[in-house]
Amino acid sequence: MKRIAVATCSDLEIDIDTPQTLAALRNAGLETDFCVWDDPSVDWDRYDLTILRSTWDYAPRRNEFLSWARSVPRLLNPYEVIEYSTDKHYLNDVAQRGHRIIPSTFCDVGMTPVFPEGSFVVKPCVGAGSIGADKFSASEHERASAHVASLHEQGRDVLIQPYIDSIDTLGERALIFIDGELSHAMTKGAMLNVEPDDRDMIFRREQMSIAQAEPDAVALANAVLDSVGFSDLLYGRVDLVKAPEGWALMELELVEPSLFITYKPEAADRLAAAVLKRLN
């Protein structure tokens, strides 16, 4: 029997999709263990495949996470995807390839921030979910500068983007891909209009709903994934927003994204089938 490790973390809430994901893998005839990625007692060599899932604590120590990922044999998604997509500087690359992104200004450690007109968002270039992200009005440059300084003191580069007003009405569109094909779509309601301490798991779940994927949104997501060479991954999520010019990329979630399987239970079986295909 093939042995699968599902990699998670130890000190954050476990992905709500976990029970269905593990059940689907085991129903497919796979011996499956739930393993903490930085647990030194885990022998990753004993597994036929390691699947990254809720490794949500890597952001403050990305170099350690990359070193671990580089050492794990038979890792999905693979190391090159992790290295590329865990730092939002990749947005520059996506834009240079001709795809529409939210206008993005990077303020690396040691640089002075420049803020756009109107409301805007400041977030770490390496981050998970909305942790470390905050929204600011046009009159809050002083508070925003303090937030940038706080992230810089932690050694973290910063991304500054205008706030896209359609998020308040349409939300973000999250497109979930399994085995290189669109599985389902979600609407993510505005996350940054409440205080950071209020963005708990219950709030985040309340902001989610199943959606009908718009053809032009799917076209952009496919084009981006194909352009960067990641069109046939085990799983991935592409988060888009509706800008005045059309859909724009917010971010690529290719390492440890929530796949919202509880909203689309058959997606767990699709994921298990895709794992079996890669094992064979």
Residues 94 and 203 placed together within one structural domain of the fold = yes
Residue 241 and residue 34: Cα distance in Å, rounded? 34
Write the pLDDT tens digit of every residue in 37-73: 999 999 999 999 999 999 989 999 999 999 999 999 9
Write the pLDDT tens digit of every residue in 193-238: 545 444 344 435 546 799 999 999 999 999 999 999 999 999 999 9
Cis? peptide before 193, omega within 30° of 0: no
pLDDT at residue 13, as a whole number: 62
Domain containing 59 — which CATH number? 3.40.50.20
Reply yes or no on whether the pLDDT at 147 is more than 50.
yes
Q: Within a domain: residue 138?
A: yes
pLDDT at residue 12, as a whole number: 57
Residues in the chain: 280
Percent of the chain with pLDDT over 70: 92
Residue 114 and residue 132: Cα distance in Å, rounded? 18
Q: Determine how many CB atoms are found less than 10 A away from the CB of residue 40.
A: 6
Q: How confident is the model at residue 191 (pLDDT cuts 50, 70, 90)?
A: low
Assess contact for 99 and 220: CB atoms under 8 A.
Answer: yes
Domain that holds residue 61: 3-86
* Two structure tokens written together for 89: 């500087």
Residues 222 and 250 placed together within one structural domain of the fold = yes
Phi and psi of 273, rounded to 5°?
A: -65, -40
Residues 150 and 182 placed together within one structural domain of the fold = no
Q: What are the angstrom distances between the C-alpha of 80 and each of 70, 191, 209, 229?
A: 9, 29, 31, 10
How many domains is the chain partitioned into structurally?
A: 3
pLDDT at residue 190, as a whole number: 60
Q: Within a domain: residue 275?
A: no
Reply yes or no on whether the pLDDT at 129 is more than 80.
no
